[in-house]
A and B are shown apart, each in its own frame.
Chain A
């Protein structure tokens, strides 16, 4: 029962580089989300998906892209990394009803230098 798995756990990128943050869940949840957490701040929604093939922007989508080709996987792509993207990124999934909340992964700490 892995839940939500995020890789890598840590990464240092140079300005202008690109990378993909991986997220996989094994609970057959339709809803998946990407959040970022900056120091002293709450989590802000980047992108979300309500099912395979369907994605939409959240509150802070600029500089990111996502895809959802399967129910299990929801990768987040950073193009042309900038220092403002230094953050901790959390992937989450949900079965739908809010009474169950989200299940979060353990996060990816990204530093852009």
Chain B
């Protein structure tokens, strides 16, 4: 019973182009969605979030889109840079309180020069 799914284990993108990472969820009670970035041997770092009352949130090169009817969110990175190479996790909260996050499996993004 995986409530948050990232169906692409890996993604390879040319430097300077757009990276699009996708995430699907099953529980309509989630009210907040977040993206985390993780480098090897480090903990995940918070990247960007979006409330369920919005459909878009931007922060510099990063934009998250939320499509509630499809239960789908995506992270756009424009332009992609070599330092963006990492594993990206989407996460959702709002079910059962206490700000608990449910994580997807992660997508490994590789930016090629």
Contacts and interface: CB of A to CB of B under 8 A. Distances in A.
Contact of B43 (A48, A56, A106): A106
A98 B42 CA distance: 21
B19 to A, nearest CB: 19
Interface residues of A, number: 28
Contacts, number: 66
B93 A43 contact: no
Given A98-B32, A98-B93, A101-B49, A58 B42 contact: no
A83 to B, nearest CB: 22
Interface of B: 4, 6, 9, 31-32, 34, 36, 41-46, 49, 51, 89, 93-94, 98-106
Interface of A: 4, 31, 33, 35, 40-45, 48, 50, 56, 58, 90, 92, 94, 96, 98-107
